Amino acid sequence: MAPMPLNPENPFARPSTRPLELPDFTAATVENLREALAAGLAEQRREWAAIAADGDIATVENTLLALERSGELLDRVLPVAFTLMESVGGDDFDALEAELMPQLSAHSDALHLDAGIHARLQSLQRGKDLLSLDDETAWLLSEYLRHYRQSGIGLSEADQTILRDLNARISTAETSFSQRATKALENATVYVEDAADLAGLDEETVESLAQAARERGREGFAITFLSPTQQPLLTRLENPATRARLLDQSLTRGDGHDPESDTRALILELARLRAERAALLGYENHAAAVADEGTAKSSQAIAERLAALAPPAARNARREGEQLAALKAESDTAAFTPADWYHWSDKLRKRLFSVDDEVLRPYLELDSVLTNGVFWAAGALFGIRFVERPELVSYAPEVRVWEVVEEDGSTLALFVGDYYARKGKRGGAWMHNLVDQSHLLGRKPVVMNNLNITRPAVGEPTLLTWDEVTTCFHEFGHALHGMFSSVTYPALSGTDVPRDFVEFPSQVNEMWMANRAVVANFARHHVTGEPIPADLLDKLLSQGTYGQGFSTSEYLAAALIDQAWHRLRAEDVPAAVDDVATFEAQALADAGMRYEFVPPRYRSTYFNHAFGGGYDANYYSYIWSEVLDADTVEWFKAEGAQDGDGWLNRTAGQHFRDELLSRGNSRDPLQSFRAFRGRDAEIAPLLKRRGLDSA
C-alpha cells in the first residue's frame, strides 16, 4: 500500500512562513515529526523513481536538477528532528531517533544503489563536453558519480543486499552508542555533599552546582560532565580527592560499571561491521574507505602524518609532566597523579605568565564574548552585523536568534545559538544547518551553534573559561562557512565538504583569541564594564606554546585510537568486551603515546566522534585541517601587518570569503585553498604553533 500523503494540518506540510523559513520548533511534536518524516521519505522515493524511469535522454534539467530539487518535505523536517533529538533528547526523541536512523540509511542506499539514476548520470558524464557544463555543474555531476562509486553501485545484486543490511546494522549501532554516551554523561554526574570538598570554586560556581543538584532532585551539589576526558573544574578544585573522583568518573564512562551506558559491545560490533563493509566495497579497511572520501586520499598518508607528530608531542608532554610534578613537590609530598595535571598546570601558568582563570573569568561574560568578540571580529573582517530577533522563539527560552545583515542592508542569514547544557542534550559543541543555502532553490542559510556551558544560578552572569571562549569562536567559524555559502546546488552548500577539510574554517576563526584588538574589545568586567587590564592582556597573549605538549598528545592519542580500531580487518576485531581497554592501551603503546598522566581526549567507550557516526576514522581531520589553518593565520597576520590593523584586514577577509568560505563544495576544496593562498599549504606554521619544530 502506498504511504498516505501528509495531513495538511501537519505543521510541516508547507514551508515555514517565518523569516528565511526558520523552523517553528514550538509546533513540533514527536507525533507530527514522525508523520512528516515518513511522508517525506516516501515523497522523495517517488521523485527518484520518476527520474530513473524517465524515458527521455538524460539532461541536466531532468536528472541533475531534478535530484537537487527532490526531497523538499524531508529537507524541512529533518533539521527539526535532528535538532530536537540532539539538543532536547529524552526517551521519546531517543525512540524517534532509533526508528529514523536505519530508515535514513536505507534511504541513502535507495539513491546510491539505483542503477537507473546512475546510468543517467553516466550518460551526462559521457556527453558533458557537448553539454558545455559550467564548472559548478560539472563538479556536482562528478560528486554524484563519486558517491555512487564509493557507495557500492558496482557490486552484484547479492552483494548489494549484504551492503544494505550492513548499513542498516551500522546505523542502528551508531545511534545506540550515541544515546548511551549521552546517558553516560548524565549518569557520571558527581554528587558532593560537603561544600568544603569544593574548595577553590567561587560562590557563583558553587551555587550553580547546587542548582544542578536541585534540578536532579538531590541535595548538595552536582558536577555535570562535558564530553572530553578533561573537565574544566579539575583546574580550580583544591581537594585532591574531589579531583580524583571527577577524573575517574570521566575516564570510566561506558566501561561497564554502569550497565545502562555500557558501550563496549557496540564498539566491537561497529568495528567489525565497518570492516566487513569496507572489504565488501574493495577497501583494505574502514580507514582506507574513509580516506578515499577526503582530501587525504589514503590511510597511509594519514598514518604517516600522525606518526611524524606523535613522538615530539609525547616528548613535550613528558617534559611538561616533569615540570608539574616538580612544582607540586615544592609544597605537597603526595605523589603526582593524572587528576593533578590540570590543577598544577594552571598554577604553573600563573607562575610563568601571572594568568589566573579566577582572575580572567569576570572578564569573560558570554554575551560580551559573543557581541563584542565573535560578532565584532566577523563584522570587522567581513562587513556583517548582527541584529538579535527575540521574537523568533525556539524550543527553549535560552535559545537565541540573530539576523545577519550585509553592509548594503540586505539579509545574509539567520544565526541561532544554543549555548547551555541541559539534561538529554548531546555532549560537546557543534554547528548544523537548519536551512541550506541554494541559489537553485532560492534559499538563504539558517545555521546553528550548540555548546554545553554550565548554566549559572538564576540572576547570575554566565562567566566562561578561556577554553569555552575558544569553543565559541571555533563553532562560529563553522557558522561562517555555512552563512557565507554562495552556491547553486544544495548538495554543495556550506560545510558539505570532506570531513578532513570541514574543520579548517572553524580553526582559522580561533585566531581572534590571540588578537589584541579583539580580546580587548570583549574582555570587560561583567560588573564594572572596565576593560581587561593591559598587563593582564599582555600576559594572556604571551603564553605561546605553553601546554601544547599535553593538548597535542591528548588529541593525537584519540586520533590514533580512532585509526587503530578502523584499520582492523573484521576477523581481527577483539571478541570480548573486556578486550576494549586492552586494545586501546596497546594501540597507544605501539604509537609511543601511552603516558598515564595524559589520557586520550576521548577513550573508546565515550568516543562519540568515532562510534556515534560522522567522524569514524576521521578524527585525524582536526590536525590535517590545522596545517591549512596555521598557514592561513600566518597569511592574515602578514596582510594585516601591511596596513597596521592587527590582522583585522577587511580586504583580506573579503578575499577569504570570496575564494574559500563562499565556495562550499562547489569545486575541489584544495583548489579553493590554492585560489585563496596562492599555493599549497606548508606544514612549518603548524609545527611552530604546537611547539613541535624544535621538539
Q: Are residues 206 and 130 in the same domain?
A: no
Query: Which sign does the torsion angle of CA 267, 149, 120, 442 carry?
Result: positive
Q: Are residues 201 and 276 in the same domain?
A: no
| Strand-pair partners of 405 | 385, 411
Distances in whole angstroms, Cα of residue 683 to Cα of each of 433, 509, 610 = 31, 19, 26
Q: Are residues 200 and 286 in the same domain?
A: no
Q: Are residues 122 and 24 in the same domain?
A: yes
Q: Are residues 200 and 284 in the same domain?
A: no
d(C-alpha 493, C-alpha 663), whole Å: 8
* Cell numbers found for residue 266: 557496540
- Catalytic residue list: 475
CATH assignment of the domain containing 273: 1.10.1370.10
Q: Are residues 232 and 316 in the same domain?
A: no
Boundary residue ending a domain (571, 597, 619): 619
DSSP string, 237-273: ---HHHHHHHHHHHHTTTSSSSGGG--HHHHHHHHHH
Contact between 474 and 524 under an 8 Å Cβ cutoff? The reply is no
Q: 233 in helix, strand or coil? A: helix
Neighbouring C-beta atoms of residue 460, cutoff 10 Å? 15
Whether 428 is in a domain gets the answer: no
Q: Are residues 244 and 285 in the same domain?
A: no
Q: Grid coordinates 567522524 are at which residue?
A: 615
How high does pLDDT run on average in the chain?
Answer: 95
* Cell numbers found for residue 309: 607528530
DSSP string, 607-667: -HHHHSSSSTTTTTHHHHHHHHHHHHHHHHHHHHHHHTSTT--HHHHHHHHHHTGGGTTSS
Whether 463 is in a domain gets the answer: no
d(C-alpha 615, C-alpha 626), whole Å: 16
Q: Are residues 240 and 333 in the same domain?
A: no
Q: Are residues 137 and 193 in the same domain?
A: no
Phi then psi for residue 456, to 5 deg, are: -75, 170
Q: Are residues 270 and 235 in the same domain?
A: no
Boundary residue ending a domain (95, 123, 150): 150
How many domains, the chain? 3
Boundary residue ending a domain (619, 646, 662): 619
d(C-alpha 345, C-alpha 324), whole Å: 6
Q: Grid coordinates 613537590 are at which residue?
A: 329
Q: Which domain holds residue 220?
A: 188-251
d(C-alpha 525, C-alpha 491), whole Å: 44
Whether 192 is in a domain gets the answer: yes
pLDDT score recorded for residue 203? 92
| Strand-pair partners of 223 | 190
Whether 497 is in a domain gets the answer: no
Whether 450 is in a domain gets the answer: no
Contact between 223 and 244 under an 8 Å Cβ cutoff? The reply is no
Q: 475: which DSSP letter?
A: H
Q: Where are the alpha helices (DSSP H) in 62-114?
A: 66-69, 72-87, 91-112
Contact between 509 and 87 under an 8 Å Cβ cutoff? The reply is no
Whether 615 is in a domain gets the answer: yes
Neighbouring C-beta atoms of residue 151, cutoff 10 Å? 19
pLDDT score recorded for residue 1? 42
Q: Are residues 57 and 135 in the same domain?
A: yes
Whether 235 is in a domain gets the answer: yes
DSSP string, 580-621: HHHHHHHHHHHTT---TTS--SS-GGG-HHHHSSSSTTTTTH
pLDDT score recorded for residue 4? 67
pLDDT score recorded for residue 356? 81
Residues in the chain predicted with pLDDT less than 50, given as ranges, are: 1
Which residue type, as a one-letter code, is found at position 192? V
Which residue type, as a one-letter code, is found at position 318? R
Q: Are residues 350 and 227 in the same domain?
A: no
| Residue 29: closest CA among 80, 100, 79 | 80
Phi then psi for residue 486, to 5 deg, are: -140, 70
Whether 686 is in a domain gets the answer: no
CATH assignment of the domain containing 79: 1.20.1050.40
